[in-house]
Amino acid sequence: MIKVENLTKIYPGSVKALDGVSFSIGKGEVCGYLGSNGAGKSTTIKIICGMISPTEGSVHVDGLSVLDEPDKVKKIIGYVPESGALFLSLTPHDFLQFVCRMYDIEKDVYETRINSFMELFGLANEINIPMHTFSKGMRQKVLLISSLIHDPELILWDEPLGGIDYETTQVVRDLVKDLSAAGKTFFYSTHLVESVDKICTKVIVLNKGKTVFDGSMDGRILENVMNEYSRSAGRSEKITDLYKNIPS
């Protein structure tokens, strides 16, 4: 479903966010994309979405080149950005209706989907309330719904569970399990190992723009990899030393 080859991205100022990243993800896989803040995860997703162009390399989604056929690729993906923006003056119904109409979904179909998803995520009573009154978690639920409502083949999530409560996290896990079993592919970016432990079948770890692990989900191996490349290495000793040097 996703094939990334030699992906490199250099931002102004010679900042290399990605350095020759290559990987492939099969149809129906749930791939966790792990790394510390600044590792290059969001840059990768933005390139796959066609939001930004790579400096070098290529990306194909379901056999389509993101660089050559971006419009076709965008029709088959769902996306939750790291910092999602909503039209807060709109109600969830109006916003999701807008999303569905962009994908040319028939009204009777999208009305059923909107109502079903809002109920599933515990927002049925808020469907016609402007979103500027919503909490962060409620807004995140609407973003998650917007990434799924057009029935995409590939779902790209960048830190999707920010502000989400435990109950909704369970709903998301069940959805991922059911949809992946039906052939949908998930590419799930996060810096939290525990977020991918129960839902991912494949894991890629990124460190300073380079792939340092690419394999099947194994909690023990993954924890060792993350500890090796974590910026927190030696942090407990530094904290202890810091407090020793604070005047009482």
Per-position b or e across 138-156, b if 16+ CB within 10 A of its CB: bbbbbbbbbbbbbebbbbb
User: 8 to each of 40, 162, 166, how far by Cα in Å?
Assistant: 10, 28, 37
Q: How many residues does the chain have?
A: 248
Residue 200 and residue 144: Cα distance in Å, rounded?
17
3-state secondary structure of 211: strand
- Give the pTM: 0.86
The amino acid at 120? L
Burial (CB count <10 Å: 0-12, 13-18, 19+), residue 37: exposed
**pLDDT computed for residue 230 by the predictor:** 60
In the chain the domains, ranked by start, together with CATH numbers, are 2-76+152-244 (3.40.50.300), 87-151 (no CATH)
**pLDDT computed for residue 235 by the predictor:** 52
Q: Are 200 and 30 in contact (CB under 8 A)?
A: yes
Beta strand residue intervals within 148-209, DSSP E: 154-158, 185-190, 202-207
Q: Are 32 and 44 in contact (CB under 8 A)?
A: no
What are the 10-residue block averages of pLDDT along the chain, 248 residues in total?
A: 96 94 96 89 94 96 95 94 85 96 95 97 97 94 96 94 87 93 94 76 91 77 62 53 59
Residue 243 and residue 6: Cα distance in Å, rounded?
45
**pLDDT computed for residue 179 by the predictor:** 95
Residue where the block lists tokens 């990124």: 206
Residue 148 and residue 100: Cα distance in Å, rounded?
10
Do β-strands 30-34 and 185-190 pair in parallel, antiparallel, or remain unpaired?
parallel
CA dihedral 77, 83, 88, 90 (to 10 degrees): 0
Which tokens belong to 190?
A: 């996060």
Do β-strands 2-11 and 15-25 pair in parallel, antiparallel, or remain unpaired?
antiparallel
The amino acid at 69? E
